Amino acid sequence: MLVLASSSPRRRELLTQAGFSFEVHPAHIPEDPRPNEDPIAYVTRLAREKAQAVFRELALCQGTTLVVPQTHQKEPGALAPEVVLPETLTVLGADTTVTLDNHILGKPENPADAARMLRLLSGRTHRVITGVAVVTAAHTEVASESTAVQFLTLSDEEIAAYIATGEPMDKAGAYAIQGRAARWIPRIEGDYFNVVGLPISLVSSLLESLLPAGSLTRQ
């Protein structure tokens, strides 16, 4: 039984697109970086903590067995509630951040913060890093993916108009490559899906290396 420890609709869409059947159970943990924490260490730590928190929460539901709660039926990848043994549970956690000059740019706190981030990214190449973690009863594996993203130079008017759409406000680095910001990104180096929020190839490799052949349900 695969559980995604994230409420991100983008991660749900990517997992569904890749053919995985899964349940959604978001993690609720503090996401502030530690002092002087390296961006890769930051995202891999959060991915691991999210996956471990959800695994513990579900595994404690009924002692030796657990009931995976039902997600909203209209959500992609949603499965009916079922009772599973902890040893059959697999939890996937992920966290994505934008970095520039090794500084972490998380989700903007307000429109002014979004404008600050977009001015920093304007005309420069930054990196998007996603940490992923897979937790089972026997193993915890973590890895990360990094993609270089080039931005065109943005005017203050373009930044203000983009912020007015509301799109930047829940995105690391204050932009969505799959949204309106696509017109400002002439090239990337690396995994596009990583920039969206989940490096599907890396996730598939981790899951397939940890789990017995045929144990993952594909749609």
**How high is the mean pLDDT in each 10-residue block of the chain (219 residues)?**
93 94 94 94 97 90 47 39 66 97 94 98 98 93 98 98 96 96 98 97 92 58
Backbone phi, then psi, for 66, in 5-degree steps? -140, 155
Residue 184 lies in a domain: yes
State the pLDDT at residue 72: 35
Residue 216 lies in a domain: no
CA distances from 201 to 116, 145, 163 (A): 32, 10, 31
Buried b (16+ CB within 10 A) or exposed e, 67-92: ebeebeeeeebbbeeeebebeebbbb
DSSP the chain: -EEE----HHHHHHHHHTTB--EE-------PPPTT--HHHHHHHHHHHHHHHHHHHHHTSBTTBEEEPP--TTSTT----EEE-GGG-EEEEEEEEEEETTEEE-S-SSHHHHHHHHHHHTTSEEEEEEEEEEE-SS-EEEEEEEEEEE-----HHHHHHHHHTTGGGGSGGG--TTTGGGGG---EES-HHHHHT--HHHHHHHHHHHS-TT-S-B-
- Of 142, 144, 129, the closest CA to residue 195 belongs to 129
State the pLDDT at residue 214: 53
Question: Which CATH number does the domain housing residue 84 bear?
Answer: 3.90.950.10
Domain range for 105: 2-210
Residue 68 lies in a domain: yes
- Of 66, 43, 65, the closest CA to residue 127 belongs to 43
State the pLDDT at residue 209: 86
As for how many domains the chain has, the answer is 1
Select which of 32, 95, 113, 156 is catalytic.
95
β-pair type (125-135, 103-105): unpaired
State the pLDDT at residue 211: 74
Neighbour count for residue 22 (Cβ, 10 Å): 24
Residue 219 lies in a domain: no
Question: CA geometry: angle at 149 spanning 128 and 119, to 5°?
Answer: 90
State the pLDDT at residue 181: 97
Residue 217 lies in a domain: no
Asked whether 10 and 76 are in contact (CB, 8 A), the reply is no
95 is catalytic: yes
